[in-house]
Amino acid sequence: MSEENKASKIDNKPEETVENPQLKETKKTAESTPVSQDQEEVQENELTTESIDVIQNAKTDDSDDDDFIEEDTDEEDDADPADLDAALNEDSEDESTAERHSIPKKEYETLSKEDLIKELKNLLSNHKVQAIKEHVTEIRAAFIAKFEEEQEEAKEKFLEDGGNIIDFRYYSPLKKEFNSLYFEYRDKRNHYYQNLRKDLNANLETRNALIEELKELKNELGGEESINATFDKFKDIQDRWRNSGNIPRDRYNLVWNNYHHHIENFYDFLHLNREFRDKDFKENLDKKLKLIEQAEELAQESDVNRAFKELQMLHKIWKEEVGPVSREYREEIWEKFSAATHNIHESRQEYFKNIDKVYEQNLEEKEKVIAAIEKIAANPATSHNGWQKQMKEVNALRENFFKIGKVPRKANEPTWKSFKQATREFNHNKNGFYKNQKKEQYENLQKKMELVQIAEDNKDNEDVKVTIDLMKRIQSDWKKIGHVPRKDSDKVWKRFKKACNHFFDRLHAEKKEVLEEEKGNLEEKVALLDKVKTIELTGKHEDDLKTIKELIKEWKDTGRVPHSKKSIEQDFNKVLDGLFKKLDLTRKESELIKYDNRVAAMADEDNNQALNKERYFITKKIDEVKAEINQLENNLGFFQHVPDDNPMVKEVHKNIAEHKKTLEIWKAKLKKLKSLY
């Protein structure tokens, strides 16, 4: 079995219930006696005990292969599972388990070997070792898969080049680094479980001592101490019991039954003072009713796994933290609690049935992916472009294979082998094709050298516009040419890149100079704008008009400003509009004077694109105004019998006149524009 499949195996079956022999004996005794707290707790234990065998020792002397750390065997997994603390004690939902479920899992199969190592380092540095086994197992499986695929490709190439298989060696620094991290993980894991066993045994001793204290209390009830003081000691023992921690699971039921046996004895000795016992029974009843209410709410929880985990905690509280209740209520409240428990267990069973269906669907999807890769491998391409297309298709299929999800355990290894065989066959065909492509690669090299020569010959060309187009074209051609011999690839690329970068660096430097010049122009125009705002007209029309035209020429001669500051042109035109009004110029005259400035600016920039765009804009405006005039004149036809002094008719004539004036202005602008061509 491959490491990848061992690592990804899971057991989807819900854990079955097993019954401790001590509990069986207790139930036999209870059959001939009234229902007791012991019997109640035995019934409870039948519903909540998980099917994990008692494990007392974990392996610590793991051996590793020189080339790669061996996968943990099934026997070792049984002896040292990630949930060993659940197998060693009854509390399977401790902080470590909660943390395990809170650590997000990534799509490890899609990560590179470097990223997988990074993820493993992060887990070891930031999380408890007992909480990360599932993550480490999946990371390791993904790393091994990538390493073996890389090793297999290297082996094929070695053999194709005439090498002898007995001489093949493959070394990867990343593999050594990963092995070192995995050793560190296993050392930490073993150390954790060794300490855990020590703590469990110490807690066992504490609980046994508490039972001995409990035994002595009945002697104190008949002594000189008051019943209040004795009852306080009893409560203190219960508190310390609840806080005494987990113990080895194989001793749990025996110790717990012993403890509750003496609890019952103590209550029997209290029968002379029912006040204390009844008060305690009432408090316990209230607590257990709340637990029943919480269990019934959990039965409605959509997340069945979360509900099951929280149910285990409720059972622990029921057993460990809440004492017995009055006999008249015991059977009734236990039946309610059992009913809620039963519903959650049924939901969990149904969940796992559905999971199995999902895994079967995943298997079907993965088989389709494998069939698609096999089909591509059976029809190899005959050209470089064809192979590039097939490589993209296979890579997409591979990514899809890893994203699909888990399959049934029995199908895991066969599916993985079929997938590897299909991809290996494709890679073999691909490598065989490119082995015969040396002639084509040398032709590609010659083509690229020609492009290098073009780039070097034009890197100092002063015709910027032409050279920009040329550089873009040869860069595009470069991408289309294809592979060149590996030994020449870097060298020819560096020459080409250097020539292209030289041109564009020079272009950027020139643009920077232009930008600085435009900033200077902006400062001059700001000062000129302030000057125009404060100008005083003499009242002589010709002289004032001449002054304004000189200001417009000075503005135009100042040059371009940064594109982000183009709005200063509008500010200047607004000031001119105010001056034109003072001169009493016609609308057409003022518009054409301002337009002279705009047209001159476009001509100075030698921007044919801008001129063509302006010409198209004006032509469109002329057509729009003509259409408006025609529409208005047509509308007059509906008013043939209406007097000309009618307000509506007068308004239409007024609009026609305004549109004709506007038309004359647009035509005059078009005439000025045409004079530049």
Q: Which of these, 168, 186, 166, lies nearest to 178 by C-alpha position? A: 186
The pTM of the full predicted model, rounded to 2 decimals, is 0.39
The angle formed by the CA atoms of residues 14, 18 and 22, to the nearest 5 degrees, is: 160
Say which residues have a Cβ less than 8 Å from residue 31's Cβ, sequence separation at least 6: none
Band the pLDDT of 215: cuts 50, 70, 90. confident
Cα 665 from Cα 625, distance rounded (Å): 11
pLDDT in tens, 286-323: 888 998 888 888 888 877 778 888 888 888 888 777 87
Say which residues have a Cβ less than 8 Å from residue 536's Cβ, sequence separation at least 6: none
Lowest mean pLDDT among 47-56, 156-165, 337-346: 47-56
Mean pLDDT confidence for 450-457: 91
Percent of the chain with pLDDT over 90: 8
Q: What is the CA radius of gyration of the chain?
A: 45
> Contact at 8 Å (CB) between 9 and 273?
no
Residue 478 confidence (pLDDT):
92
Residue 243 confidence (pLDDT):
84
Mean pLDDT confidence for 628-637: 80
> Contact at 8 Å (CB) between 410 and 5?
no
Angstrom distances, CA of residue 545 to CA of 590, 593, 670: 10, 10, 23
Tell me the DSSP string of 218-264: HHHHTSSS-HHHHHHHHHHHHHHHHTS----HHHHHHHHHHHHHHHH
Q: Residue type at 130?
A: Q
Cα 248 from Cα 296, distance rounded (Å): 31
Q: At what angle do helices 113-126 and 133-160 cross, to 10 degrees?
A: 160
Half-sphere exposure of 412 (CA within 13 A, CB side): 18
Tell me the DSSP string of 517-560: HHHHHHHHHHHHHHHHHT----S-HHHHHHHHHHHHHHHHHT--
> Contact at 8 Å (CB) between 130 and 86?
no
Instruction: Name the most confidently modeled range: 21-25, 349-353, 447-451, 579-583.
Output: 447-451
The angle formed by the CA atoms of residues 385, 419 and 424, to the nearest 5 degrees, is: 50
Band the pLDDT of 276: cuts 50, 70, 90. low
Residue 102 confidence (pLDDT):
65
Is pLDDT of 368 > 90? yes
> Contact at 8 Å (CB) between 270 and 76?
no
**Chain mean pLDDT for the chain:** 75
Decide: residue 402, CB within 10 A, 0-12 exposed, 13-18 middle, 19+ buried: middle
Band the pLDDT of 23: cuts 50, 70, 90. very low
Cα 631 from Cα 637, distance rounded (Å): 10
Cα 515 from Cα 494, distance rounded (Å): 31
Tell me the DSSP string of 54-117: ------------SSSPPPPPHHHHHHS-TTHHHHHSS--SSHHHHHHHHSPP--GGGS-HHHHH
Say which residues have a Cβ less than 8 Å from residue 428's Cβ, sequence separation at least 6: 156
Q: Which of these, 365, 257, 356, 350, lies nearest to 307 by C-alpha position? A: 350
Band the pLDDT of 222: cuts 50, 70, 90. low
Tell me how far the alpha carbon of residue 148 is from its chain's centroid: 27
Mean pLDDT confidence for 218-226: 59
Report which of residues 580 and 144 the model is more confident about: 144
Cα 430 from Cα 381, distance rounded (Å): 8
Cα 524 from Cα 535, distance rounded (Å): 17
DSSP letter at 69?
P
Q: Within the chain, how many helices (H) and strands (E) appear?
A: 24, 0
Is pLDDT of 78 > 70? no
Cα 615 from Cα 618, distance rounded (Å): 5
Cα 312 from Cα 18, distance rounded (Å): 15
Residue 433 confidence (pLDDT):
82
Is pLDDT of 100 > 80? no
Cα 427 from Cα 377, distance rounded (Å): 8
Residue length, the chain? 677
Say which residues have a Cβ less than 8 Å from residue 402's Cβ, sequence separation at least 6: 107, 109, 110
Q: Residue type at 428?
A: H
Mean pLDDT confidence for 30-54: 30
Say which residues have a Cβ less than 8 Å from residue 390's Cβ, sequence separation at least 6: 376, 380, 381, 426, 430
Buried b or exposed e, range 448-473, using 16+ CB within 10 angstroms: beebbebbbebbeeeeeeebeebbee
